[in-house]
Amino acid sequence: MHILQLANKMPYPPKDGGAMGIHIFTDGLLKAGNTVKVIAVNSPKLYTPLSQIPEAYKIETQFEAVEIDTRIKAKDAFLNLFTNQSYNVIRFDAEAMHQKLAEVLSKHFFDIVQLESIFMAPYIATIRKYSRAKIVLRAHNIEYKIWERLAANETNPLKKWYLHLLAKRLKEYELSMLNQYNGITYITQTEGEVLKNSGCKIQLCHIPFALDVKSKTPSNKAEEKWSVFSLAAMDWQPNLEGLQWFLDNVWQKVLAQMPQAKFYVAGRNMNSEWLQKKYPQVEMLGEIKNASEFIASKSVMVVPLFSGGGVRVKIIEGFAMQKAMVSTAIGAEGIEYQNGVHLLEANDSDMFANMVVELLTNDEKRKNIALNGRKLAEQHYDISEVVQRLTNFYQSLIAAKK
């Protein structure tokens, strides 16, 4: 098959969950024998110079990037209040991308155009104008749900009102577009149910996040004793809110039971405010060069999330690296886990602290949970099996008359 992958962010380097989620499917589809062309939004927030992308990748994916300024601007946000448009979406709608798509689609044939997230939906009309390819939304999340949760957790009245407005408009747009594609793939079963219950009449397919699990070999090196870690993109609001909650409400309770414990916070785009935060036995690392080595060197992973959607990429990566972890229910949402078998679930500060301490002090339990997580990753989240399912779905869409 000939596939055009339209990405809402640069997929290379695949360091954060969003980039990994795009890149792993590019790689998987290529290895399955398809041709894949990637066109990506290159925004100031996550800007990647083309010189930093390997030539082999650019050649194999026929890679092109379109620079779009998706940053939030006070004037634009204010003027948007007097429209009925979703400010989350229109920031990605740029004439430069419409022109690039018209140019590419006029010259090349594609069976499938894969839209990475709802934020690429503004380009449907242009795609339809220049191509007969089947358009598939790869829904990374039910996006409006993320903003509803952010609004629900916000305490500032004015900010809460604005977040509710963003969520409302995004919901209206997201649901209005449901039947504009030829198919939708969703990451979690919960999201699939939301789509079905919201009036989606087109073909749907469950395609979870996946990894090349076989390449994520668990390390034989000794873990740092009493170490706890978080690895998350530090420019995503749900991650920031969750980590702040952990630092303010959980960490002191861990230290009260285990004063020798140490917490490492790592992730790309950590700003100076976070890098300068001071907490006892906490080290703010920022972006790290080798995520796999970092994960392998630590004992217990924490995922303290209370908003967001989709699947936590780092949880699947942690499973593959055979790491024991504690997560909130929302943090592990969409993953086919059993509490107490594959990870420990905790939703309040006392329980979260106790679970962290239990994993740090009970070597046998920590090792068993880590091993079970690895087995789960092998069985359900390996890219080769997931891409085969995606390929079958695409072939069924191509065979359909409409």
pLDDT, residue 308, reads 65
The first and second tokens of residue 198, run together, are 């919201």
Q: Helix, strand, coil shares of the chain as percentages rounded to 5?
A: 50, 15, 35
C-alpha–C-alpha distance, residues 150 and 167, integer Å: 9
The CATH class for the domain spanning 214-380 reads alpha beta
- Residue ranges matching CATH 3.40.50.2000 in the chain: 2-210+382-399, 214-380
Percentage of residues in the chain having pLDDT higher than 70: 99
**2-210+382-399 falls under which CATH superfamily?**
Glycogen Phosphorylase B; (3.40.50.2000)
Q: What is the pLDDT of residues 136-153, one digit of tens each?
A: 999 988 999 989 988 998
The mean pLDDT of 54-83, rounded to a whole number, is 96
358: confidence class by pLDDT, cuts 50, 70, 90:
very high
Q: Which amino acid is at 355?
A: M
Q: How many CA atoms lie within 13 A of 143 on its CB side?
A: 26
Rg (CA), the chain: 21
Instruction: Give the pLDDT confidence score for residue 402 in this predicted structure.
Output: 63
Please return the burial class of 197, using the count of CB atoms within 10 Å of its CB with bins 0-12, 13-18 and 19+.
Answer: exposed
Contacts of 88 (CB under 8 A, 6+ apart): 119, 143, 147, 166, 169, 170
Phi first, then psi: what are they for 139, rounded to 5°? -75, 110
Average confidence (pLDDT) over 376-384: 92
Using the predicted structure, report yes or no on whether residue 312 has a pLDDT greater than 80.
no
pTM of this prediction?
0.82
Task: Give the position of tokens 């900010």.
Answer: 159
**Is the model more confident about 215 or about 377?**
377
Q: Is the pLDDT of residue 251 over 90?
A: yes
Q: Please tell me the predicted confidence (pLDDT) of residue 371.
A: 97
CA distance 119 to 25: 18
